[in-house]
Copies of this chain bind each other. A is one copy, B any other.
């Protein structure tokens, strides 16, 4: 059990606020690190100490006020984010001091939440950090998008995953294989490619290679039946002409374009994209995992826990220590610098 230092100061809270909205790539100036008194829980509430803060690409969207599926973070307020936290004070009978919970405290060291808004975790079942990773939102994004939209069929189906070494992509590829499909993973750099091979992807490709397009063609001689889109950009450009008739494209992220401030130069390829949709009877379907929670979350928890237990679903965490380092780690995430699920260790994990 290592010590994480300054942010565990037990009299002061540390918070990272959205200081201004980024124009293009976010910078340190868009964030403000402040301290304030630790808040007091009211009736039915708990005071929580953040152990892990999850950093995820969707947060780039919350920094902007462009219309999206969720409201933006207001300037001057705490950046939002999923957290694994320890109960340090409880004013609700359902939770006791020392309980570890999944919560949504955002980028801060302490926070108060209604007890009914958090979910108690069982450290015996899986490491608690997985509640914001393979057994949490990223894992469920992979599970729901792949199975409900991608619907891979055993045997002939090829699943191509962009950002395959990320927490979503690595789960998509492994579930595709569990379901009997052939998984081709695409990631950036030899380390990530090597890890995909270790995970059992049938083929792993480096999208930074100068021969990437040809490598992809060689990897999918029968075309692509499911493409799990979480990146956009040049990977999508390479995939689109290789999609088969009736191919399905679940779209859960487009990180390559998150920092764009204006439309790229022409020609305008939007009509060409629609022509692919028409001539190949493609399904392109955007989604946010929330949509599937009610119908499929319980199944996911049961299935994914089983796969983790039997070794068929593996995951990797990229843990950065110290809340102060969250902005820098987040910038790296948007550039694909993380390797595995990116977590900020805000304070010690008492279960390890």
Contacts and interface: CB of A to CB of B under 8 A. Distances in A.
Given A69-B245, A274-B251, A277-B251, A265 B268 contact: yes
B271 A268 contact: no
Contacts of A269: 263, 268-270
A191 interface: no
Given A264-B267, A281-B286, A281-B287, 14 more contacts: A69-B279, A69-B281, A233-B271, A251-B277, A254-B275, A254-B278, A257-B275, A263-B271, A273-B274, A280-B286, A281-B285, A283-B283, A283-B284, A284-B284
Contacts of A276: 286
A276 B272 CA distance: 16
Interface string A213-239: 000000000000000010011001000
A252 interface: yes
A282 interface: yes
A245 B277 CA distance: 20
A254 B274 contact: yes
A277 B284 contact: yes
Contacts of A254: 271, 274-275, 278
- Among A254, A271, A288: residue with most chain B CB under 10 A: A271
Interface in A84-142: none
A239 to B, nearest CB: 12
A260 B268 CA distance: 12
Given A232-B271, A266-B265, A267-B266, A279 B68 contact: yes
Interface residues of A, number: 44
B272 A282 contact: no
A336 interface: no
Interface string A248-265: 000111100100101111
A9 interface: no
B251 A278 contact: yes
A298 interface: no
Contacts of A294: none
6 contacts: A232-B274, A251-B274, A257-B271, A264-B268, A270-B273, A274-B284
A198 interface: no
A276 B245 CA distance: 23
